[in-house]
Amino acid sequence: MIPFDNTYARLPARFFDLSQPKRVFAPELVMLNEELAGELRIDPAWLRSAEGVAVLAGNEVPAGAEPLSQAYAGHQFGGWVPQLGDGRAILLGEVVDLKGQRRDIQLKGSGRTAFSRRGDGRATLGSTVREYLVSEAMTALGVPSTRALAVIATGENVPRPELHPGGIFTRVAASHIRVGTFQYLFGKQDKDGIRALADYAIGRHYPEVSTLEGPERYLEFFRRVCTAQATLIARWMHLGFIHGVMNTDNMTISGETIDYGPCAFMEAFHPDTVFSSIDRGGRYAWRNQPGIAQWNLARLGETLAPLVDDHMDTALKRMDETLAGFEETFGEAFINGFGIKLGLDEMNDSARGHLNATLRLMAENKVDFTLFFRHLTRLAGGELDDQGFATALGQPPGITAWTSSWHQTAGPVSKERLQLMRERNPIFIPRNHRVEQAIQAAEAGDYAPFRRFAKAWNSPYAEQSEHADLELPAKPHEAVCETFCGT
């Protein structure tokens, strides 16, 4: 049983299409997130039963579900698409979790909907493995993210263009409202719809804002979304995470990371790094992410402007002033987060200079981003001396001078600061070649690597000697230089 309590289905009918999941041939439960099931007040034993698996596969619609696919639009790589929508996802409904938070339960890969365009509505098993691993790792790393409840192998093949085994992913999210959801209504000049959606999103994600009335209400809502996104993008960047497709339809109002397609964690550091095969211009490179987020938020601001002032010029000016706060919030979060990673006390001018020098050293020498901070934590904790630190990093030129500059800037690292370093410098991240390995194995019917990596990445800040091999970057022949939407 799933304790559904649906609200999106009560919104105006033009916000969605009532779609049913389509049956699959021979569903098999590949992975279940029992802890998350518990949080959602769903019995994991029931989810494992024939009835539960039928629900996760979309072969049966559970009691209380009101399946629908959401309408949204979006700017994809800067180009406007007035209608996208859930082309292969169905919202079964919502539950209120143990903490009182409302959560969406969505099936992804569950067949065609009114929004499928030319797509088949299906997902490869590989893409569901990727989303499971990366979204759960992000959560364990402390980054707001949609969650993974289950992966089903469908027993059917999907052409991409060569045949891949199919999968269905159960996604759990604070909501699936995107910048593109607002844009969809804006494109139709549906001011009443925008107001209804904004009020709904405020009630769900920023309830404190509900007490405000008039223009202030929507300005404050916009400000909160900008803050949530600014801190989110900073957290990504502290981990070397590159989302890969930061289109406006892949950016949530809740501030959760969503849609793990051609995403990747960078190994050798360079700010211009891009992985996605479809990102030819480097639009969504690591360093461009804050600028793109701000651009996307400007698009959100435009949709809310009609609620702020009848004169569009005045309204847009107020949205712009609000959006200007993004830069400051992001900048502070970015610098302070790196300060913590470096074990620095206060981000004064010399500390900022040291941060720049650090990023330069890493970029010039293609130092592994995660290992650099992991070994620096060991240096700060006395587990390594300067020589050991340099050796662990492979003796990059300039490391000796960098290390003495770090000692000078950081001084002796207090217990508290060391603790913070340990909480922000992961030992394990989903390295791309490992994700690839789990995908390949799963598509060949071997789920062992998927399960092992999920377990290791669930405790990314803890020493796990049995998983020491997962700490290491790809060897040259294993390196993944490009990621594909692989949907």
Between the alpha carbon of residue 456 and those of residues 5, 138, 265, 339, the distances in Å are: 34, 13, 16, 27
- Select 250 or 252, whichever has its Cβ closest to ligand AMP: 250
DSSP states of 301-322:
HHHHHHHH-SSHHHHHHHHHHH
Angle 199-205-210 (CA atoms, 0-180°, nearest 5)? 45
Chain centroid, CA 274 distance in Å: 16
- 7 in the Ramachandran plot: left (φ > 0), alpha (ψ -120 to 50) or beta? alpha
Q: Segment contacting Mg ion (CB under 5 A): 144-152, 242-250, 266-274, 378-386? A: 242-250
- CA distance linking residue 370 with residue 471, whole number of Å: 9
Q: How far apart are CA 484 and CA 315, in angstroms?
A: 40
313 classed as catalytic: no
Please identify which residue in 82, 119, 203, 331 interacts with ligand AMP, judged by CB under 6 A: 119
d(CA 131, CA 122): 14
* Element of type H or E holding 295: helix 289-308
Cβ-based nearer residue to ligand AMP, 85 or 426: 85
- Per CB under 6 A, does 44 bind ligand AMP? no
Cis bond leading into 161, ω under 30°? yes
CB of 258 to Mg ion, least distance (A): 7
Q: Which does 121 bind (CB under 5 to 8 A by kind): Mg ion, ligand AMP, none?
A: ligand AMP
116: contact with ligand AMP by CB under 6 A: yes
Closest to ligand AMP by CB, 129 or 362: 129
267 binds Mg ion (CB under 5 A): no
Residue 165 near residue 157 (C-beta atoms within 8 A): yes
* One residue of 36, 37, 68, 84 binding ligand AMP per CB under 6 A: 84
CB 71 within 8 A of CB 17: yes
Q: Which helix (H) or strand (E) holds 75?
A: strand 74-76
For position 261 contacting ligand AMP by CB under 6 A, the verdict is yes
Q: Measured from the CB atom, is 281 or 397 closer to ligand AMP?
A: 281
The minimum distance between CB 197 and ligand AMP, in angstroms, equals 18
259 touches Mg ion (CB under 5 A): yes
- Binding segment toward ligand AMP, per CB under 6 A, in 80-88, 94-102, 348-356, 457-465: 80-88
Of residues 386 through 415, those in contact with Mg ion by CB under 5 A are: none
Q: Which of 88, 147, 224, 318 binds ligand AMP (CB under 6 A)?
A: 88
Instruction: Determine, following the binding rule CB under 6 A, whether residue 250 of this chain makes contact with ligand AMP.
Output: yes
Select the binding partner of residue 487 from ligand AMP, Mg ion, none (C-beta < 5 to 8 A, by kind): ligand AMP
The 416-435 site mask, x for binding ligand AMP (CB under 6 A), equals --------------------
Please report how close the Cβ of residue 449 comes to Mg ion at its closest, in angstroms: 26
Determine the size of the site formed for ligand AMP (CB under 6 A). 18
* Under rule CB under 5 A, residue 250 binds Mg ion: yes
Q: Give whichever of 84 and 421 is closer to ligand AMP, judged by the CB atom.
A: 84
* Rounded CA separation 160/183 (Å): 29
Alpha carbons 397 and 383: distance in angstroms, whole number: 22
The residues, any chain, with a CB within 8 Å of residue 382's CB and separated by 6 or more, are none
- Chain residue at closest Cβ approach to ligand AMP: 119
| Residue span binding ligand AMP (CB under 6 A) among the ranges 22-30, 120-128, 278-286, 324-332 | 120-128
Query: Should residue 131 be labelled a site residue for ligand AMP when binding is judged by CB under 6 A?
Result: no
Binding ligand AMP (rule: CB under 6 A), the pick from 64, 87, 215, 396 is 87
Nearest to 51 by CA among 61, 36, 66, 41: 61
Taking contact as CB under 6 A, which single stretch among the options 53-61, 82-90, 301-309, 393-401 is the one that binds ligand AMP? 82-90
CB of 229 to ligand AMP, least distance (A): 17
In terms of Cα–Cα distance, which of 314, 292, 82 is closest to 219? 314
Tokens 């992985």 identify what position?
A: 275
Among 249, 259, 279, 368, which one carries the catalytic annotation?
249
Question: What are the percentages of helix, strand and coil residues in the chain, rounded to 5?
Answer: 50, 15, 35
Shortest Cβ 72–ligand AMP spacing (Å):
7
Give the residues across from 89 on adjacent strands.
Answer: 108
When asked if residue 156 is in the footprint of ligand AMP (CB under 6 A), the reply is no
242 neighbors 266 (Cβ within 8 angstroms) = yes
Out of ligand AMP, Mg ion, none, which partner does residue 353 contact, by CB within 5 to 8 A per kind?
Answer: none
Q: Is 121 in the site for ligand AMP (CB under 6 A)?
A: yes
Name, in order, each residue with C-beta under 8 angstroms of 318's C-beta and a sequence gap of 6 or more: 215, 219, 305, 308, 309
CA 421 – CA 475 distance, rounded (Å): 27
Q: Which two tokens stand for residue 141?
A: 């790393």
Catalytic residues: 249
* Chain residues in the site for Mg ion (CB under 5 A): 250, 259
List residues near ligand AMP by CB under 6 A: 84-88, 115-116, 119-122, 245, 249-250, 259, 261, 485, 487
